[in-house]
A and B are shown apart, each in its own frame.
Chain A
Amino acid sequence: MSDTATNAPVLAADGTPLKRSLSRALRVQKMRALALIAPLLIFVLISFILPIGDMLFRSVENQIVENTLPYTVDELAKWDGASDDLPPEPVFRDMYFDLFLAAEMKRHTRLGSRLNYESSGMSSLFRQAGRKLDDPGDDAQAALEEVDPIWGERETYYQLFNAADGAAVDDALLAAQEKRIRSLADEKPVGEMNFAPSAEVSGLLPLAARVYTSFAVITGLVENKVVAKTKPMESLYLALLQDVTRPDFKADLAAYNGPHKEALTALANAPLLAPNYTEIFTDVDKEWANVETWRIIQTHSGPYTSGYFLNAIDMQKTPEGAAVQPENKRVLIQLFIRTIIMSLTIMGACILLGYPIAWLLSNLPMRTANLLMMLVLLPFWTSLLVRTSAWKVMLQQNGVVNDVLVWIGLVADNDRLVLINNQIGTITAMTHILLPFMILPMYSVMQTINPSYLRAAKSLGATNWTAFWRVYFPQSIPGIGAGSILVFILSIGYYITPEIVGGTKGVFISNRIAYHISSSLNWGLAAALGTILLVVVLALYWCYDKIVGIDNVKLG
């Protein structure tokens, strides 16, 4: 009987379950608490979480290849990258038109830089191609004009491709090209272009209609010029040449009733040759005839890539899957390990140096302790840069430390110690800089340890050392834990001090990240490195929680 009574939910006076009644009563309090933290929450969300999320997203984002070379990527997907044959002609054809448009929008260099991360030389290959793709177009134009001078006039093309009043418009083509240009343009295209591709022509001349439509979008919406009065881009001539030489052109032309039918008929009957795109590219640079070039483009054509992460752990993405980088390029894992080991060393040095100081501070009378505390906090009042630079003065070969060592005869004058631009420099300077972060939590924890514990231990028969080790030290562990986490996490992401005193051997992974952010502009790799660093820190934090327990951390 009593069992059933205890199992039934407890009811409030009005009969509602007590839990619901309680949560309703506390709701106003919760809302008020939420309102109080809301400003900070919003600030953190906007200024911290979102940028970090965006940065992390960059570590897998790879839309530039697909956006810049949409048709090539489609066509290249059909090619077996593992084979030793070059991709078929359609790939080269689409590459020509994609790259031409990219060059027109000045995006081909960006794509080159992106692919250059995977294989050096790609950047110059793309830049060069962007410059030289005009020439085949000029040749094509000359060939067309030879058949009929009308092909030299801009209005001809406008009349040919623009849908006359009442004629059917190829909406799909227009929308596709607008979308494509939008993704390539830096600014949002606006304005009126006064052009719509005729559906009939785009059936007859698919490639040329596509090229002209994209040209019209660029001219009208991006550059804000009159489409009809602007000279089309050179690739249009090549595209027209391509279309009129296709096998079914004559048959399709018979059914055609649009403008310039005679001129087109003249082209159909002229002895024109379809362009050879493979040759065009090979003429630009023979690297285009290298299967490897195409493999790289194919491997990195997806909108999302694991490539940056693989690079971050000294591997690379290949058509056959992930592979280890060549030995001379493997630096990052070593740098990660070095960063962790040096951070642990700095943490250990901080514990060893900080513990006695914190102990002294917590056992001195208040007045003296406060004075000493000022000295501990003094470094905080000095600029980080100044402190680090001071260590540069102290540690260099003609610096204060070496001078003193030479003066007291420990070191020969011609054999001065190398204390800077290596790991010793970084560890020394960072231990000094991070020491207060270790002392403060230790001190605040030690202050709460009642001296009567030590007295009790001694009265129970423990020697000074036993009393310290068995009674005092275990109680001070939360302070050591808090300080260690603080120092370790601060040091693993430290940048400025290793940069100044670390030379080449004493730098951290964060210096590498900074290099990729500001110098090599490989933001994807920087983001991947940052993500790995974040994961490593979280993993170590998790380990700490499992081993020591995070509730064992006290900041006071």
Chain B
Amino acid sequence: MAESHSRDAFVEFERVQKSYDGETLVVKDLNLSVPKGEFLTMLGPSGSGKTTCLMMLAGFETATHGDIRLGGTSINNIPPHKRGIGMVFQNYALFPHMTIAENLAFPLEVRKIGKDEREKKVKRALDMVEMGKFGGRRPAQLSGGQQQRVALARALVFEPELVLMDEPLGALDKQLREKMQFEITHLAHQLGITTVYVTHDQTEALTMSDRVAVFDDGRIQQIAAPDILYEQPENSFVAQFIGENNTLQGVVKEIKADNLALVELDDGELIDCKPVNVSKVGERTQVSIRPERVEFDKKRLQPGAHTLKAEVLEFVYMGDIFRTRLRVAGNDDFIVKTRNAPDQRRLQPGEQLEIGWLPQDCRALDA
């Protein structure tokens, strides 16, 4: 059973638990397998256990229970320096008393690699991150983005098969962050290395990863490719955490045959939804609709679809999109996003209208 399970898995967490104080579990029964070459992001709010998982994988924390395997062998009792895992730290952790070249040579030196080869590898790694000219400088003489590149090069210079990154872009400004996001994914796929990336920034997670593991409360809430995660969240936490989301509270009235459910909202209106993790009639539910999937053009809705009355509260022009805040079923924070197209209507505050959506875009989740 375990054999087949780990056949294509490179990194594996099996029933891993972690507690710091012996009273509460920071990581609760974690099961995760990462195939070789995958870019996996651990996403979650702070305190969700994602960094602890990374530290256990790196060997700086020991698992209280369970097994962590790398390439099929358990690494629970292997000290960090023998795991051969590259790691990029949040603050880069470049050694301030060494030059950039010395920093990069460090992992090669401790591996007793000869001087000539060492220099060749350092040069190649620096060129890879376009920092070839900076070998003689000290970390303090570089900008944040440059330090970031060096840290990346240092984590890759000894050619590890697995690289861990702990919020490496947190300290950079928005533009540089977006550029580095692209560069890191590009590099990771080019070199074919397995990457485990920790972040609390959902945009970063969505744009970079092959798969995203959403952490909350010490558990993985959902692990899926970015598009599935966004479009088909499996529970209300994931729906809320990933992207912008409108929620309406209600009770399941009826579950129909063709994977549709009728939900009675708290103000008595009825809507059609796709049931995701509701199963019984009478169960409370949280209905989730993405702002860009809301329609107020009746012609685009299915005939006979339920609509809701709405009042425009605020209209924000954002350039590429319009962001309109509505009052819907007693919810004052119902957002609608529309594309800035030539025929798009600009709604005026105070305007009354009817809105609707396709039933499959409206997901009935746990309350």
A residues lining the B interface (CB < 8 Å)? 450, 452-453, 455-464, 466-467, 470-471, 474-475
Contacts and interface: CB of A to CB of B under 8 A. Distances in A.
**When A and B form their complex, which 10 residue pairs have the shortest distance between CB atoms, in order from nearest?**
A460-B107, A456-B93, A459-B87, A452-B93, A458-B80, A474-B97, A462-B110, A461-B110, A458-B81, A452-B89
A452 B90 CA distance: 9
B195 to A, nearest CB: 14
Given A453-B95, A471-B95, A475-B96, A461 B111 contact: yes
Most buried by A among B58, B60, B79, B111: B60
Nearest to B89: A452
User: In which size bucket is the chain B interface?
Assistant: 20 to 34
B154 interface: yes
B89 to A, nearest CB: 5
Interface of B: 58-60, 79-87, 89-91, 93, 95-97, 106-107, 110-111, 154-155, 158, 164
Contacts of A466: 110
A457 B79 CA distance: 12
B91 A460 contact: no
A328 B344 CA distance: 109
Contacts of B80: 455, 458-459
A463 B164 CA distance: 19
Nearest to A462: B110
Nearest to A472: B95
B168 to A, nearest CB: 12
A457 B106 contact: yes
Contacts of B97: 474-475
Given A456-B87, A475-B95, 15 more contacts: A455-B58, A455-B89, A455-B93, A456-B89, A458-B79, A458-B81, A459-B83, A459-B85, A459-B87, A461-B81, A461-B84, A462-B110, A463-B81, A466-B110, A474-B97
Contact of B106 (A450, A452, A455, A462): A462
11 contacts: A456-B93, A457-B95, A458-B80, A459-B58, A459-B83, A459-B87, A460-B86, A460-B106, A460-B158, A474-B97, A475-B95
Contacts of A475: 95-97
B286 to A, nearest CB: 40
Given A459-B80, A462-B106, A466-B110, A450 B158 contact: no
A159 B154 CA distance: 105
Nearest to B111: A461
Contacts of B59: 458-459
A122 B68 CA distance: 91
Contact of A450 (B87, B91, B155): B91
B154 A460 contact: yes
B157 to A, nearest CB: 9
B115 to A, nearest CB: 17
A465 B71 CA distance: 28
Nearest to A460: B107
A477 to B, nearest CB: 8
A8 B85 CA distance: 56
Contacts of A467: 81
Contacts of A455: 58, 60, 80, 87, 89, 93
Nearest to A455: B60
Contact of B93 (A450, A461, A462, A470): A450
Nearest to B112: A461
Contacts of A456: 87, 89, 93, 95
Contacts of A457: 95, 106
A462 B95 contact: no
A458 B158 CA distance: 13
A411 to B, nearest CB: 44
A460 B110 contact: yes
A458, A467, A474: most-surrounded residue (chain B CB, <10 A)? A458
Contacts of B110: 460-463, 466
A460 B93 CA distance: 11
Contacts of A450: 91, 93
A465 to B, nearest CB: 10
Contacts of B95: 453, 456-457, 471, 475
Contacts of B107: 460-462
B82 to A, nearest CB: 8
Nearest to B87: A459
Contacts of A461: 81-82, 84, 107, 110-111, 158
Contacts of B87: 455-456, 459-460
B20 to A, nearest CB: 12
A364 to B, nearest CB: 16
Contacts of B83: 459
From B84, B110, B164, residue with most partner A Cβ within 10 Å? B110
